[in-house]
Every structure is written in structure tokens, then in C-alpha cells.
Amino acid sequence: MKCRGVEDGCIDRRTAMAGLVATAGWAWAGPAAAETGVTDTRIKVGQSAVFTGPAKDFGVDYKAGIALYFDKVNKTGGVLGRTLELVSHDDAYDPKKTAENTTRLIDEDKVFALIGYVATGNLIAAMPIAEKAGVPMFAPLVGTTSFRTNHNRYLFHVRASYEAELRKIVGHLATLGIHNIAVIYQNSAFGKSNLDTCLQIAQGLKVKVVESVPMEIAATDAKAQVATLTKAQPGAVVMIMAGKMVEVFLRDYRAGGGASPLYTISVGITDAPGSAQRLNGGIEGLVTASIVPSPQASRLPIVADYRKDRVDAGEKIDSYTMLEGYIAARVFVEGLKRAGKALTREGFIKAMEDMGTTKIGDFPLQYGPGNHNGSNFVDLEMYTRTGSLRR
């Protein structure tokens, strides 16, 4: 007789099993629910970054580095059998748009984690949304000190902090006997917060900041800023800026006869060869803090891997920012692997915190339950006339 249900006085196998489980004192809940953004074959990751406007090189190059390694992983079997899908939205450097994109990535795109955000104000806008949803925020291209001192269990850095960069720069100047400096800074949350950090460092090292001058990111003229800095006659000028505004300042500073040495944090220049060409060699002598090795230093395993993967992929972009994105992606994938096959957001956070002191390639990192800062690597290099760098 064919069983059609309890009305026929019979019961199907699933119902019988449930009854047996209940009799034994178990609560059968069916298959475990999958984590958001994770399937048996895919892990979906989201990004909001600047892909248009004066600062677009940062977002474009950072995304290219992340995508380069993700593609490499996908071609070699994925992460424990799952391919990586990167969903990227342009925020045009606008924090309001970043917040909208973050909500979209979490609520509509249903991503597992967020990666590769760019700029301080944009991260400020995004973090409350990510934290409320319990979504990890990984490797933003941001080094602002407050994000390091105010620990957030959902936020993981890979790059060194701007505080570490500025301490390296100002400490170097103090060692050279330069005790009077000026600062030109981007008129934004990024510029203002890191100006405060620079002032604190300078005070601690007994270096006097004789002038601090703001500049708008979309500025096309820096003659007024140059005049103010020239009048102050500092022993060196520290630049806390990013994007095309750096070229505008360099152009007008050189043309205005500025003679003080120039120093910039790592995000000052993205397309160094392009900047050198547009400035007719005017980038020469600019000293920059670097938070990853030179992308030309093939003697280093992490760089050798990056260069090989670039060639294999036919990638034309080649920059410090792209290398940084590549390293960030490698660290992210390492965390996914350590989290195991039963991937969850909480499992990923624990896997990252359990990483301790380690190296990815030869790139040193350190994580723990109270330390999500990653790298402390900072070096100083000087640009040549063609945009290459020398230590």
C-alpha cells in the first residue's frame, strides 16, 4: 500500500526519524544554515572605493592588486574549494556614497566580508554599518591612528599606521638636525587627524612645526600655500596629502623656488612614473614613507610572487598600491584558510586573531585578540627624476 500520510495510518521515513530523535531527547534542526556570502562553491567579498575623480589611482590600483591574487587563487582551486568573488562599487571618495555602498553590499549583495576601502573619512562612514551587521572590514587603505588605538574586533589592518610613517619621517629629520618643519595637509578628516598626530610626534621629538597649511583635494593651484611655506623658511616640508593635489603642490612649489626638502607619507604618490612625466622630473628628491617593499625588489619572495602573477595575468598596472593590495589579499586568504571549511564570520575573526606573529611570503605580520594592526613595516625612499625610488 502506498503511504499518503497520517490519514492512511502510515508515516514517511523523515517523520519517523524525527519521532525517534525526539524520543531520544534530541532536537533535530535540519542542515546547518550557511554563512551570508558563503556557498559550497563561492565566497563573496565586497569593496567600496574611489574609482573616479582626483584620487582614483588609489582605488583602481588597490583593487587591481586584490583582484590579481584572488584570480590566482581561483585558478588554482579556490579557498578550500570555494572561488572568491569581489564585488566593487565606486564611492568617488565621498563618505556619504561609501555609507550607501556599504549598506548595499551587506543588504543587497550579501557579502561575507568587506575589503580594500580607501581613505579615512570613508572608513569612518562605513565602520558603524559594518560593525552593526557583524561584517569583518579587512585591510582598508587607511593608516589613521584613531583606528588603531580604538580597537574594533571587526576591523583588521595590514598596512602600518600613518603614526608609524610620520614618526619615521620626523624622527629622521630630527636625526639630521632639522628641528623646524612645516606641514601641508589635505583639508579633510584624513588630513586633519594626521596633522594632529604629526604635531604630537614633533613635540615629543622637540621638533617645532613653524607652519601648517591646508589644501583642498580638488585644488588646481597651490601658489598661496607655497608662498606661506616659503615665508616660514622651514628646514623641511612634510606633506599629508593624497591624489592629484600632490602633483599640483609639487608643480607650484618647484616653480615658486621652494628649496626646503619635501617628505610625504605613503599615499602621497600612486603613479610615480606618470607624476614624473607630468612634472618634467619635478618629483626628483621627494622622500616618501613606504609601507611595503619596492614592487621592483624581486629578490624578496613576496615581490617575486607578485611580479610573476602580474606577468601571468598580463596586468599592466604596477605600483606600490597594487603590491599593497596583493599583500592584503594574500593575508585575507590565509585567514580564510585557517578558518576552515565551515566558514563563518566569527570563525574568520578568530582565525585572524589566532595567527599571532607570522610571515606571508617574507612580509612580517602580527595579530592577536587585542591587536588587529598587522604590519609595522615602514621605510624611507627618495624619488628619482623618472619616478623610480632609491633607499
Q: Can you tell me the mean pLDDT for 186-215?
A: 96
pLDDT band at 4 (very low <50, low <70, confident <90, very high): very low
**CB of 166 closer than 8 Å to CB of 266:** no
Secondary-structure percent of the chain, ordered helix, strand, coil, rounded to 5: 45, 20, 40
Q: How far apart are CA 158 and CA 374, in angstroms?
A: 5
pLDDT single digits (tens) 44-74: 999 999 999 988 999 999 999 999 999 999 9
pLDDT band at 19 (very low <50, low <70, confident <90, very high): very low
Mean pLDDT for the chain overall: 91
Q: Can you tell me the mean pLDDT for 252-273?
A: 92
Share of the chain above pLDDT 70, in %: 92
What per-residue confidence (pLDDT) applies to 24?
Answer: 40
Of residues 234, 296, 223, the one with CA closest to residue 263: 234
Of residues 155, 57, 65, 160, the one with CA closest to residue 114: 155
Q: How far apart are CA 240 and CA 263, in angstroms?
A: 9
Superfamily for 163-265? Answer: Response regulator (3.40.50.2300)
Low-confidence winner among 18-22, 45-49, 173-177, 196-200 (lowest mean pLDDT): 18-22
Residue 1: is its pLDDT beyond 60?
no
What per-residue confidence (pLDDT) applies to 29?
Answer: 38
Concatenated DSSP letters of 13-69: HHHHHHHHHHHTT-----SPPPPTTB-SSEEEEEEEE--SSTTHHHHHHHHHHHHHH
Residue 244: is its pLDDT beyond 80?
yes
Instruction: Return the half-sphere exposure (C-beta side, CA atoms, 13 A cut-off) of residue 306.
Output: 34
pLDDT band at 33 (very low <50, low <70, confident <90, very high): low
Residue 15: is its pLDDT beyond 60?
no
Q: How far apart are CA 32 and CA 52, in angstroms?
A: 42
Does the CA dihedral 128-161-288-233 come out positive or negative?
positive
pLDDT band at 223 (very low <50, low <70, confident <90, very high): very high
What per-residue confidence (pLDDT) applies to 271?
Answer: 83
Q: Can you tell me the mean pLDDT for 188-192?
A: 93
Parse the chain into domains and list their residue ranges: 1-30, 42-159+298-374, 163-265
Q: How far apart are CA 190 and CA 117, in angstroms?
A: 14
pTM, two decimals, is: 0.86
Of residues 107, 62, 126, 115, the one with CA closest to residue 87: 115
Residue 381: is its pLDDT beyond 90?
yes
pLDDT single digits (tens) 92-130: 999 999 999 999 999 999 999 999 999 999 999 999 999
Query: Which CATH number is 42-159+298-374 given?
Result: 3.40.50.2300
Q: How far apart are CA 243 and CA 236, in angstroms?
A: 21
Q: Can you tell me the mean pLDDT for 177-198?
A: 96
Residue 8: is its pLDDT beyond 90?
no
In the chain the first and final C-alpha atoms are separated, in Å, by: 86
pLDDT band at 149 (very low <50, low <70, confident <90, very high): confident
What per-residue confidence (pLDDT) applies to 314?
Answer: 97
Q: Which residues, 6+ apart, have CB-to-CB distance to 128 below 8 Å?
A: none
Q: Can you tell me the mean pLDDT for 204-224?
A: 97
pLDDT band at 390 (very low <50, low <70, confident <90, very high): confident
Q: Do domains 42-159+298-374 and 163-265 have the same CATH topology?
A: yes
Residue 20: is its pLDDT beyond 70?
no
Amino acid at 278: R
Residue whose C-alpha cell is 609639487: 250
Residue 179: is its pLDDT beyond 60?
yes
What per-residue confidence (pLDDT) applies to 325?
Answer: 98
